[in-house]
Amino acid sequence: MQINVKTINPAADKSDCYLVAVQEGGKLSPAASQIDSLSDGQLTRILKRGDIKGKLNQSLLLHDIAGIGSTRVLLLGTGKEAMSDSQFRGLIRTAVQKLLDANIKNVISALAEVEVKDRDATAIIQLGSETVTHALYRYSQTKSEKTPTPSLHHWTWQLDDKKLHKQAQTAAKTGQAIATGMALTRELGNLPGNICTPTYLANEAKKLGKSHSLKVTVLDQKQLEQLKMGSFLSVAKGSRQPPKLIVMEYHGGKKPGNPVVLVGKGITFDSGGISIKPGAAMDEMKFDMCGAATVFGTLHAIAELKLPINVVGVVPTCENLPDGNASKPGDIVTSMSGQTIEVLNTDAEGRLILCDALTYSEKFKPKAVIDIATLTGACVIALGKQASGLLGNDQALVDKLLSAGNKSDDRAWQLPLWEEYQDQLKSNFADMANIGGREAGTITAACFLSRFTKKFKWAHLDIAGTAWDSGNNKGATGRPVPLLVNYLIGEAGKG
Ligand code: BES
Ligand code: MN
Ligand code: ZN
């Protein structure tokens, strides 16, 4: 889909549909009033008859309004007060659904003038462009009937102030690149474990490298052995699929320039291993590579935007399965860092693959390392589906991520990483255990990772609750690509 920004003349400029807003109580937005006067009060008459009251998400599709270049006008209710981000997104989704139902191809949207809390027109255009593009994603790879591509082709944001056009155009491009990155994240997440294996992800990385000029290196089992990644390999050894460590380098910044390293958990299926999970909803553990998929999607977006920054993606990927050769509770493994780990629960496998990937990241002399992982069920209990868990060893980095999340309506919430929690990881037989008991499960998982991140500024995003939806709308969400792209835009000094 093409997204543009223009100052349009509603009497002359043609489209299949012009989107305008009406508040609850009947107050027309500026663009709606303009249509009203061009059509000799037609909107006022319709409002008087009571067909639409302006309640949030109400809509009314009108045809052949006199004096208007567009063949249709879609009136959208915006409610009484300024909308929240999520209400605004809901409104955009309502509009997109109406447009698709009517098979509409070209629209002009005067929705940049609606009131959204803490957002100016440019910020509305970024979030709106992301939401429109996001709403057009359909999964169909493993269905015999391919979903037809949605009809919508052109979306033009009407914006009066020409001085804002350049900035708004960039915002539209940014929103769209974020949603396109999210679509890659969602597609990889949605694919089943028997297709999306570690080898499949490695091949996808190579494809992404070719299409978006990334330098991609894939380390195989032998190389992981040479690097002494005993912790990562201990998870992989219960599976017949060989593990991979995928490294993707994006050079958009100065040539030596310390990169931001993104480390993504890539468990392509998590059965729990010998500490096997109960059966209910176990299929959802195909989503246990959504951290990895987020790294792919984020790199896709920043490469598309050509951000002047260096970013490295590091993805440890394998399956966690029970097998005669699988790790057993009580086994002790030696990580790449040299620290030994007692594996008390083979279902706490994410941290076991991440710790070696974090140690490996030291070689890039990173200015910051951010890992993204569907790490703990405890995080879903603590924060639900609204916020990703955020912990780290550098408050300035954490603050930047929090504000990037707020800016992109992809929020995170910080949990404490106090040293007192470290005691829960004590082991009688190794340097640490891989679990810390029932209490504060998200924090003790981060405590575990913190022992491998002493040499750099580090933050950890636990996306167990945010990476996918369950129930009727089961599917990967593409979060937290918006948070990360907004953070990287800030780091690139552009936003
Ligand atoms: N991938 C899971 C975490 C998870 C569970 C994410 C449910 C989303 C929904 C992770 O590998 C895991 O199994 N964690 C255990 C850790 C425990 C054994 C300390 C958990 O959260 O139960
Ligand atoms: Mn697990
Ligand atoms: Zn897992």
Distance of CA 31 to the CA centre of its chain: 33
Region 22-29 average pLDDT = 96
Residues marked as catalytic: 277, 351
Q: 2-136 with 180-491: one CATH topology? A: no
Q: How many CB atoms lie within 10 A of CB 374?
A: 30
Atom of ligand 1 nearest to the CA of 374: 6
pLDDT of residue 164: 98
Nearest one of 410, 396, 387 to 458, comparing CA atoms: 396
Q: How confident is the model at residue 254 (pLDDT cuts 50, 70, 90)?
A: confident
Q: Are 471 and 232 in contact (CB under 8 A)?
A: no
Sign of the torsion angle spanned by Cα atoms 331, 335, 341, 345: negative
What 3-state class would DSSP assign to 174? Answer: helix
Fold of 180-491: Aminopeptidase (3.40.630)
Percent of the chain at pLDDT > 70 equals: 100
- Is the domain defined by 2-136 classed in CATH 3.40.220.10? yes
What's the pLDDT tens digit per position in 166-207? 999 999 999 999 999 999 999 999 999 999 999 999 999 999
Average pLDDT over residues 247-268: 95
What band does 255 get if pLDDT is binned at 50, 70 and 90? confident
Ligand 1: nearest atom to the Cα of 288 = 1
Q: Is the CB of 343 under 6 A from ligand 1?
A: no
Q: Locate tokens 């919508």: which residue? A: 152
Count CB atoms within 10 A of the CB of residue 87: 17
348 CA distance to ligand 3 centroid (A)? 7
Sequence spans of domains, the chain: 2-136, 180-491
Average pLDDT over residues 261-283: 98
- Reply yes or no on whether the pLDDT at 441 is more than 80: yes
Per-residue pLDDT reduced to its tens digit, 291-327: 999 999 999 999 999 999 999 999 999 999 999 999 9
How many CB atoms are closer than 10 A to CB 79? 19
Q: Looking at the CA of 273, which ligand is closest? A: 2
**pLDDT, position 148:** 82
pLDDT of residue 256: 79
Contact 274, 434 (CB under 8 A): no
What would the pLDDT profile of 384-425 be if each residue is shown by its tens digit?
A: 999 999 999 999 999 999 999 999 999 999 999 999 999 999
Answer yes or no: is pLDDT of 147 > 90: no
Closest Cα to atom 16, ligand 1: which residue? Answer: 348
- Ligand 1 centre and the CA of 250: distance in Å? 31
Q: Is the C-beta atom of 376 inside 6 A of ligand 1? A: yes
Report how far ligand 3's centroid is from the alpha carbon of 280 (Å). 15
Closest CA to 235 of 280, 284, 288, 283: 288
**Looking at the chain, how many residues does it have?**
495
Gap between the Cα atoms of 101 and 196, Å rounded? 33
Residue nearest to atom 8 of ligand 1 (CA): 464
Amino acid at 230: G
pTM of full prediction above 0.85: yes
User: Is any ligand 1 atom within 6 A of the Cβ of residue 465?
Assistant: no
User: Quick check: 152 and 105 in contact, CB under 8 A?
Assistant: yes
Which of 286, 341, 347 has most ligand 1 atoms within 8 Å of CB, for mutation?
A: 347
- Alpha-carbon gap, residue 301 to 485, rounded angstroms: 7
- Give the model's confidence band at 120: pLDDT under 50 very low, under 70 low, under 90 confident, else very high: very high
369 to each of 111, 296, 352, how far by Cα in Å? 38, 16, 17
Buried b (16+ CB within 10 A) or exposed e, 319-339: bbbbeeebbeeebbbbbbbeb
**Residue 315's closest CA among 451, 196, 207, 198?**
198
Q: Measured between alpha carbons, how far is 237 from 320 in angstroms, rounded to an integer?
A: 8
Could you count the other beta carbons within 10 Å of the beta carbon of residue 2?
11
Residue 325 CA to ligand 1 center (angstroms) comes to 22
Ligand 1 atom closest to 277 (CA) = 13
Ligand 1 proximity of 348 Cβ (cutoff 6 Å):
yes
Give the pLDDT band of residue 149 (cuts 50, 70, 90): confident
pLDDT for 440: 98
CB contact at 8 A, 195 and 314? no
pLDDT at 494 over 70: no
C-beta 36 within 6 A of ligand 1: no
**Percentage of the chain exceeding pLDDT 90:** 97
pLDDT, tens only, 340-362: 999 999 999 999 999 999 999 99
